Amino acid sequence: KSHRHLLSHIAANTYISIMAINYRRPPEHPWPTPVDDALLAYERLLERASAHHIVLAGDSAGGGLCLTLMLRLKERGLPLPNAAVLLSPWVDLTDVGKHPSWTENADIDYLTVGLAGLAARAYAGEHDRSHPEISPVHGDLTGLPPLHVERGQCEMLRDQQKELCERAEAAGVMVDCYEAPYMVHAFPLFSFAADRDAAPQFEPLLALD
């Protein structure tokens, strides 16, 4: 329900079919359960569509989950999607207050170090947070499909998202990175609050233009 407006906006502007996954979440279901659920959903989707016609998309932890899913698909020799759209992806759970963006944007972004720490502990449980399925930025990114990564200039996770783009490019992945000025974490989710008469127009669908 939290993403209903954004998903309907995407569908209305692209005429694509969307499969939204209600995967099990922490703290009741820590890693690897969310990845297991995403893999199961992807396998079911492959029964209905070619991987060439599939684009993964997710924001925040969902963006990290998309990246992790592709790493697992590659490991198992399963078909990779045609591309992935990662909106403010959380891809490094070892980075809680580590990068400069945590202090530079502390008075702007709604995501706090304390909240991120709680979420990281809930997701990883007793496992090492540097595990590539928990912090996929540390995984082997070679061979992944093209990535479109959007981040907000004023979000706490900005620097780890920059690192993702750099690591992916170094691994030979086609990467399109966009930093939205003055925006906070997962800003496309708040498109319902945009002023349609404002200039420039708020555009959460840059990847699909």
Active site residues: 60, 155, 185
For helices 61-76 and 33-46, give the axis angle rounded to 10 degrees.
60
Question: How many alpha carbons fall within 13 Å on the CB side of residue 120?
Answer: 21
Q: 66 near 134, Cβ under 8 Å?
A: no
DSSP state letter for 136: G
Phi, psi values for residue 141, rounded to 5° = -90, 0
Question: How many alpha carbons fall within 13 Å on the CB side of residue 52?
Answer: 1
Q: Can you read off the two tokens belonging to residue 198?
A: 């404002």
Q: Can you read off the two tokens belonging to residue 112?
A: 């706090």
Please name the residue that has the structure tokens 């990847």: 207
* Alpha carbon distance 151, 183 (integer Å): 8
